[in-house]
Amino acid sequence: MSEPFSIFIVDDAEATRRVLESAFSAQYTVESFASAEECLERLKTGMPNLFLLDVDLPGMNGFDLCRQIRAQETGQTRPVIFISALDDLDSRLEGYKAGGTDFMVKPYKLAEVKQKVEVTQRAVLHESMLHLRVAEANTMTSTVMSSLGEYAGLLNFLRELNYCENYRAIAEAFLGLLAVYQLRGAVQLRIQGQEYTFSPEGENQPLAISVIRKVREMGRVVEFKQHAAYNYESTSILVNSMPLDDPDLCGRIRDNLCIAAESIDAKLGALETAETMQKLKLQQAEEIQEHTQSEITTLLLELQATIESFRQKYATAQQAATAVNAELQSKLLSAFAYLGLSEEQEANVLSLVHDNMETVIRLYNFNAETQQTLANLAERLHAMQH
């Protein structure tokens, strides 16, 4: 049985700690601390699954505490949610740079905190697979880079991009490229009105999303301190650790990341076009099927009308033939009076005429066969319709 999900709360306000402890203690294992130093001392004996850190703490602040957590091997990927009274871009960037997962602004609603904790708990369960894939990409691409340089990483990424069939594969390939350049950052893909943000820390990290949304409003290429952002129609790349101490390398990486972002944008456009064409083909096939069904229905109605018309015509013709036979026999009887035939001869003549007329009627009486053939055809058309 897995251990219960644990939360460390660090806030110098005792009332706030008590409220948060009361809110989460029934569902999670909760411990609270009045300072960063107390929390660090406790970390010597164990690491929780999630941190709720107040930014404005006495002594060491929440950002520095997060850096101390990230410096420990077991704390590199543990989610950290900052709570701050400031809502400016610099504060959010500082939290992002320190390694935060999410950022909340005071005053907040307790329901909002609970929701973020629940979302974070679910994200933790899905992070391990992404970490494994990024680690594999790091191993492979580091070998390539050691022999061919940073351009080999870009070429390898572009080659992989050709075989990517969905946005998740595209994101994983790009995170591998960032690992080649020994950079940390995130990529956001926008597809049909939906946003998907990926980073080595996991998928759709709230703080990474909020930073990208702000820098998207600043232009195509945005650079500030060690951070850089590259924004295209469907793609945004955020880099957290550009090598400013090596201007030449920094320039090459900047160019390569722009190429990668533009290539991703083109790939997303191609995937969307292919999906649109597939939907169009399905729609056309459905329209053809509907038209065929309509034509078959019309043909069935016409065939049924033809069967009924033939039936009536055959019945009328049979009645007319019977009447002609009767009339012919009547005329023969009238003519016998002038021919001087005996009764036996008259009977023989009438019998001969009657038998031959019946034979002629039977020769042309294929009404039942025709109706059966048409009925079989109607049945086959009905089967095709369904």
Q: Are 72 and 47 in contact (CB under 8 A)?
A: yes
pTM score: 0.53
For residue 265, give every residue at least 6 positions away whose Cβ sits within 8 Å of its Cβ, in sequence order, or none.
Answer: 232, 233, 234, 235
**DSSP one-letter string for 276-292:** HHHHHHHHHHHHHHHHH
pLDDT digits (tens, 9 = 90+) for 250-263: 888 888 889 998 99
Q: For residue 288, what pLDDT is reported?
A: 72
pLDDT band for 1, please (50, 70, 90 cuts). Answer: very low
Q: Are 367 and 312 in contact (CB under 8 A)?
A: no
For residue 170, give every residue at least 6 positions away whose Cβ sits within 8 Å of its Cβ, in sequence order, or none.
Answer: 161, 164, 189, 264, 267, 268
Q: For residue 385, what pLDDT is reported?
A: 62
pLDDT band for 10, please (50, 70, 90 cuts). Answer: very high
Average of per-residue pLDDT across 93-98: 92
pLDDT digits (tens, 9 = 90+) for 51-81: 999 999 999 999 999 999 999 988 988 999 9
Q: Are 57 and 10 in contact (CB under 8 A)?
A: yes
Question: Amino acid letter at 313?
Answer: K
Q: 14-24 and 110-148 helices cross at what angle (nearest 10)?
A: 90
Question: Amino acid letter at 360?
Answer: V
Would you say residue 283 has pLDDT above 70? yes
Q: For residue 143, what pLDDT is reported?
A: 45
Q: For residue 341, what pLDDT is reported?
A: 73
Question: Alpha-carbon distance 330 to 350, whole Å?
Answer: 10
Written as six digits, the tokens of 371 are 């109706």
Question: Alpha-carbon distance 175 to 164, whole Å?
Answer: 14
**Chosen CATH of 127-274 out of 1.10.1670, 1.20.120, 3.30.450, 1.10.287:** 3.30.450
Quick one: which of 62, 54, 50 has its CA closest to 105?
54
Residues composing the chain: 386
Written as six digits, the tokens of 234 are 């469907």
Q: For residue 277, what pLDDT is reported?
A: 78
**DSSP one-letter string for 3-18:** PPPEEEEE-S-HHHHH
The fold for domain 6-108 equals Rossmann fold (3.40.50)
Average pLDDT taken over every residue of the chain: 83
Question: Alpha-carbon distance 121 to 92, whole Å?
Answer: 22
pLDDT digits (tens, 9 = 90+) for 103-162: 999 888 889 989 999 888 888 777 656 666 666 666 555 544 443 567 788 888 899 988
Task: Find the radius of gyration of the CA atoms of the chain.
Answer: 43
Calculate the CA 249 to chain-centre distance. Answer: 38
Would you say residue 366 has pLDDT above 60? no
Least confident of 16-30, 41-55, 92-106, 320-334: 320-334
Domain residue spans of the chain:
6-108, 127-274, 286-385
**Rounded alpha-carbon distances, angstroms, from residue 63 to 55, 206, 281, 374:** 6, 17, 54, 86
pLDDT band for 204, please (50, 70, 90 cuts). Answer: confident
Question: Alpha-carbon distance 158 to 155, whole Å?
Answer: 5
Average of per-residue pLDDT across 82-97: 91
